[in-house]
Amino acid sequence: MKKKISFEDGMQELEALVQALEAGQLPLEESFKTYEKAVKLKAELSALLDEGDKRIRVLTENGERELAKEGVE
């Protein structure tokens, strides 16, 4: 089972992968693997952001509905 990574830890790992690729010191095959890992990690982080965005939208909508019910705008 894959452990869930925090956004902050994922960003640090992604930055390290990008730095390793930008340094240009990795052997070709390792560069491919590092790039592949970075792409997968970016997708995971993007999904975390999307999930957070959805949660904020729901909370905002619910809060606005509550305020409207109370006649506060």
- Examine residue 36 and state whether it is found in any structural domain, yes or no: yes
Sole residue written with tokens 């960003």: 11
How many structural domains are present in the chain?
1
- Examine residue 2 and state whether it is found in any structural domain, yes or no: no
- Examine residue 52 and state whether it is found in any structural domain, yes or no: yes
- Examine residue 1 and state whether it is found in any structural domain, yes or no: no
Task: List pLDDT tens digits, range 23-70.
Answer: 999 999 999 999 999 999 999 999 999 998 888 888 887 777 765 666
Number of Cβ atoms within 10 Å of the Cβ of 45: 19
- Examine residue 61 and state whether it is found in any structural domain, yes or no: yes
> What pLDDT sits at residue 60?
83
Task: List pLDDT tens digits, range 4-19.
Answer: 889 999 999 999 999 9
- Examine residue 17 and state whether it is found in any structural domain, yes or no: yes
Structural domain boundaries, residue 31: 7-69
- State pTM to two decimals: 0.74
| Residues 38/13, Cβ–Cβ less than 8 Å | no
